[in-house]
Every structure is written in C-alpha cells, then in structure tokens.
Chain A
C-alpha cells in the first residue's frame, strides 16, 4: 500500500506531543494510549493507524490537496513497531517502578518523532531499508 508522505510526519507530530505531555504529567495512562496507537498501526497496518485516519479526515476537511509524493507503507509501519517496542518497554518499566529508565526510553521516542515531524527524516524507515539489505544478504 502506498501512503501520502505527509501522513507519517503529521502522525509523528501528534506522537511527539502526546508523549511529551505523558512525560511532563507523569501520566502512564497517556503513555499506554500511545503504546496502543503504535500497536494498532504496527499490527493492523497504517490503514488502521488512528493518527493516519485523523490525518485523512483533516485532509478532506481542510482540502489539503493531493499528496506531493507517496511512499510504500513498509518503512513507516516498521517505525511504528519500533516506537511501540520502545514506548511499551518504557511503560512496563514505569509501571514496575523503574521510572527514570522508563521515561528515558519515552524521551528517546519523543526525540525521534520530533526529528521526523521537523525534517521528514524517519530513522525507523532508514533502519528498515538497512535491514532489508542485510536480510537479503543473509538469505543469499
């Protein structure tokens, strides 16, 4: 499936805001919400991504026009998985009482989503491309 390249940037901006708020408010419930969002997009695909759907709704309402470019969903979907793993591990650690390490993991996700929102640089997508190269190499 091809997706509008603006979608992941919008989703990253929302993710960054939600996780920053969770950190400032020390709100595990909000963190849990974001982990669930990551899980849905990662397992179900970006078609089901809550923020992706919010973007599509806004796109229609605000008449943002056709996508400037499209990209395959594999890279951004992999990034959602990575985000889910980091934020999920952060949530578990926070709930287990290891607050400092837990919130540090969350801040790492905040930084990466800020980077994507600001520049369009998706570190998870780059890792996915790199992984693809090594996977082929391994099976060759």
Chain B
C-alpha cells in the first residue's frame, strides 16, 4: 500500500511538472534586457529593425516547428528581420543571453531592446503581440 502511494506521489509530481511545463512552453515572457554590442553584425541582421532571434542546436527537435511560426509572423511585415543562431557555434552569444534551451526566441525591438523571450515552439499570436509591443 505504501508502495502504491509512493508511486502515485512520484507520478503526481511528474504530472504537475508536466502541467507547469506546458503552461510555460511557447509563451512569450516579457523581459527588460538589451542586445549586446555588435550582436547584430555577428548574426548578420541590419540594425534599426525589429528582429526575431532564433537560437537552435544541430540536434534540436522543435526548431523546425519554431522556424515555421517565426517565418509566418515575419512574413506579415516587411520590416521584421529574422536571424538564426546556432548555439553550438555561437556559444558566447548563448551565454550572454543565458540561453539554456533550443529553440529559444528573443524578440528584439528596433532599438536593440529585448522585449520578450520564448522557450519552445512559440504561439503565433503571442509572438505577434510581443513584436507589436
């Protein structure tokens, strides 16, 4: 009986962690941060443009899905730039922005302020809203 309770407890903790994860996954979380100096040059995006910065890894499972959403959002506005950063080759950039997961998306405004960040495949509407400010 104790064993069953213990197993139930373990599975309950896993299910709660799963629920928490699901709630956070893909949400644009508002942040107040700034893009480091010279980052735009390093990743090859023009300055003065709102930018979606997608951090990926070579073995990332959800990066292709994240890319699809980002491209759809960017397609709506000629003004939005998109850049993809491979964490494996841009380790210092990932460290600077505390990127621990792929995909991670930073929503950067035209003045290099980071407005929001998303872990996982972004929700399209939330990404649009974050971009609009």
Write the residues of chain A forming the contact surface with B, with a CB cutoff of 8 angstroms: 5, 20, 23-24, 69, 71-72, 74-75, 107, 110-112, 114-115, 118-119, 121-122, 125-126, 128-130, 132-133, 136-137, 140
Contacts and interface: CB of A to CB of B under 8 A. Distances in A.
Interface string B63-104: 011000000000000000000000111010011000011100
A136 B7 CA distance: 39
Interface of B: 3-4, 6-7, 10-11, 13-15, 17-18, 21-22, 57-62, 64-65, 87-89, 91, 94-95, 100-102
A133 B57 contact: yes
B17 A129 contact: no
A118 B14 contact: yes
B59 A121 contact: no
Given A107-B6, A119-B21, A133-B94, A5 B89 contact: no
Nearest to A5: B61
A14 to B, nearest CB: 15
B61 A69 contact: yes
A130 B55 CA distance: 12
Given A23-B3, A114-B11, A128-B59, A119 B91 contact: no
Contact of B101 (A107, A110, A129): A129
B35 to A, nearest CB: 19
B57 A69 contact: no
B13 A111 contact: yes
User: Which 10 pairs between the two chains have the least Cβ-Cβ distance?
Assistant: A71-B61, A114-B14, A72-B59, A119-B18, A111-B14, A137-B91, A74-B59, A118-B18, A115-B14, A107-B10
11 contacts: A24-B7, A72-B58, A107-B6, A111-B13, A111-B14, A114-B11, A115-B21, A121-B18, A132-B58, A132-B59, A132-B87
B61 to A, nearest CB: 4
Contacts of A122: 61
B103 to A, nearest CB: 10
A24 B3 contact: yes
Contacts of B17: 115
